[in-house]
Structures are given as structure tokens and as C-alpha cells.
């Protein structure tokens, strides 16, 4: 783990929901307890290890959210500013299959320009609703070392 500890505080939007705090210190043990949280939502508090402080750079975090979580249907805030645009094509109704395919192609191309030979939309309704895209890459997936180099470049 890159952190000394991780705390997640959350509260459901359902009436009567209580706040919960999940905490872990990097070990295999964790705690879950009720907490004071008046508004619904989730807050993640990451206490970084001193060797990982470079990861706390606001610009780096915003770039990582843009690259990896721009498509999520929930707002993600970094320093009280929304960091994702929630603009994935599967959140939109398209007038035609051709326009839908083009929207998916642009979405993937803007993020992973050299990685897609085939883009396959995924739309499942049961057992739970899942929407997204599968990408058939132009080359083999990078090794963990190559991927780390790629993500550091993309997020810096």
C-alpha cells in the first residue's frame, strides 16, 4: 500500500442513513464504526507514506482522475473542484447506431490513441446494470513496468 493509513467516511442518501467510517493502517485488519456525517456522500482520506508524497500533487491527482475515472457517473472532487466530467458516451442516448459508434471511438481515442483496433460497447441490464466499453488493443498489454512509466507520463 502506498499509504500509512486509509480512512473512508460515507453516508447513504436514503432517509435515516447513518455515517460509517472504515479505517485501515496498512495491515490486514480494519475497523468499521459509525461516524458523524450529516451530508450524504463519501470522503476518502489517504495518509501517504513519506516516500509517496509526490502523489499528493493536485495536478497529478486531477490528471489521474481525468484519465481513469472521467467516465464514472458520480462526481469526483479534488480540492473542492469537480475533477471528472462524467461525459462517457454510454451515459447518453444517441440518435443512431452510427453516431453511437463514433462517440465511443472518439471517447476511447481521446484517452488511449494508440490502443484500440476494435471498440465494443457493453450494455447489460441483468443481473445488474453495467455499461461501458471493451477495447481490443493494437498491441499486447504493457508490462507492469511499462504501465507504470505510461501512467507517470500521463499524470505528470
pLDDT interval class at 8 (50, 70, 90): very high
Average the pLDDT over 66-71 and give the result: 83
Average the pLDDT over 62-82 and give the result: 86
Q: Is the pLDDT of residue 30 over 90?
A: yes
Give pTM, 2 decimals: 0.59
Q: What is the pLDDT of residue 130?
A: 82
pLDDT in tens, 101-153: 899 888 888 777 666 677 888 888 888 888 887 777 776 655 555 555 555 55
For residue 139, the number of C-alpha atoms closer than 13 Å in the C-beta half-sphere is 7
Amino acid at each position: 500500500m502506498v499509504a500509512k493509513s486509509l480512512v473512508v467516511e460515507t453516508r447513504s442518501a436514503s432517509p435515516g442513513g447513518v455515517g460509517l467510517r472504515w479505517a485501515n493502517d496498512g495491515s490486514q485488519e480494519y475497523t468499521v464504526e459509525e461516524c458523524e456525517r450529516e451530508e450524504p456522500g463519501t470522503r476518502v482520506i489517504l495518509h501517504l507514506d513519506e516516500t509517496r508524497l509526490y502523489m499528493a500533487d493536485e495536478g497529478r491527482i486531477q490528471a489521474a482522475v481525468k484519465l481513469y475515472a472521467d467516465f464514472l457517473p458520480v462526481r469526483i472532487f479534488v480540492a473542492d473542484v469537480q475533477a471528472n466530467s462524467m461525459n462517457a458516451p454510454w451515459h447518453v442516448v444517441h440518435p443512431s447506431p452510427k453516431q453511437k459508434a463514433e462517440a465511443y471511438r472518439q471517447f476511447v481515442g481521446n484517452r488511449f490513441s494508440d490502443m484500440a483496433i476494435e471498440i465494443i460497447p457493453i450494455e447489460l441490464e441483468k443481473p445488474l446494470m453495467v455499461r461501458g466499453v471493451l477495447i481490443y488493443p493494437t498491441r499486447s498489454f504493457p508490462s507492469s513496468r511499462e504501465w507504470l512509466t505510461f501512467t507517470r507520463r500521463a499524470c505528470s
